[in-house]
Amino acid sequence: MKTKYILSWILCFAIVSTVSCSGNDPAFPTVTENPSTDPGTNPGTDPGTDTTDATVPAGSALYFRLGMKWESAAETAAFTNLNRAESGDCIVTSVTPDITCSFAIPEGQLYHSILQFRMGSKAAASCPILKFSPYYYRKSAASPVTDDAGTPADETAPGYNPAGGDAELSCADGKEPLCYGGAAPHMVEGFPKNTGHYFLPQVTPETSYTLNSENKLRSYYGAGVNYLVTNDLPTLDRAANANAPADIATSRERVGNTFNDYYIWCETFWAEPVFSIKVMISDENVDPDGGLDQYPDWPGVNN
């Protein structure tokens, strides 16, 4: 059985142009042979070449780079790679197959910057399938209650109305993108039906995906917050619900146990995960001269 499966993959790799051998994984739609140079087919993908990062040692199973540039920069301007806040590099080896990479970015710069999530493998045989799932969470699970025909306007549970919005949404079935927060709704086409991307390192060793700034997207209706990017909600708070008062900047609204971090991982042809990177992003509130929390992220009061 395994021999037949491997032969089918070899035949698939021999086919030119578009990769159509992605299997039936509804959370990770089919991508093109070279996603890093075809943003039209994979809208979350950043244009560029498919050459691998020269700073990554040969034979590295999996690596990740977080880049950023100001939203006002030219479209052709290069991204600047960020150094890790923790010691070591964001590279997976057989000695450390599962790692966490943490980044902290000045809060004002983060709010006004485009981010690049770049990843790849220099050991394609050890990483046949490379997957990326951006961070997201559910803001609400509410659903409208239909009015009683005999008693008009008796709707007692009005659905979800995002702060600053004017729509009453039904979030109970989990299908409405506006019922979610975080990066994935803006990085994955067809979210929440699809929750991530994947590519084949034997075909494309490296690719990248971009996320526009919150200042441009206004996904939190103009509130000065960094929830779009930051996923630093403390573990103890992730199981708890948070209500949504009128001020979204202080509400940190969410449904308990729905928080999903940024993950990059490798799978074998038999869908066995073998290497992984969890990415944690926070914002820095204080510069060397002091300062306040001007663009809230997750830690703090009202969690």
pLDDT digits (tens, 9 = 90+) for 83-119: 665 556 899 988 889 999 999 999 999 999 999 999 9
**DSSP calls for 190-206:** TTTT---EEE-TTT-SE
Q: Is pLDDT above 60 for 303? A: no
Is 290 a residue whose pLDDT tops 70? Answer: no
The answer on pLDDT for 249 being more than 60 is no
Q: Quick one: average pLDDT of 37-56?
A: 53
Q: What is the mean pLDDT of residues 64-91?
A: 86
pLDDT, tens digit, 9 for 90 and up, residues 225-243: 999 999 999 999 999 888 7
- Residue with the larger pLDDT of the pair 9 and 163: 163
The model's pTM is 0.79
pLDDT at position 193: 95
- Does 212 have pLDDT greater than 50? yes
Kindly tell me if the per-residue pLDDT of 52 is higher than 90: no
Percent of the chain at pLDDT > 90 equals: 51
What is the rounded average pLDDT for all residues in the chain?
79
Q: Residue 184: which H helix or E strand, with range?
A: helix 184-187
Could you give the C-alpha distances from 198 to 29, 46, 70, 124, in angstroms and in order?
Answer: 8, 14, 27, 14
CB 211 within 8 A of CB 132: no
The mean per-residue pLDDT over the stretch 108-136 comes to 96
Sign of CA dihedral 214, 220, 223, 224: negative
Q: What is the pLDDT of residue 97?
A: 94
From 3-17, 110-124, 260-274, the region with the lowest mean pLDDT: 3-17
Structure tokens at 186: 């803006």
Higher pLDDT: 175 or 253? It is 175
Question: What is the identity of the amino acid at 56?
Answer: V
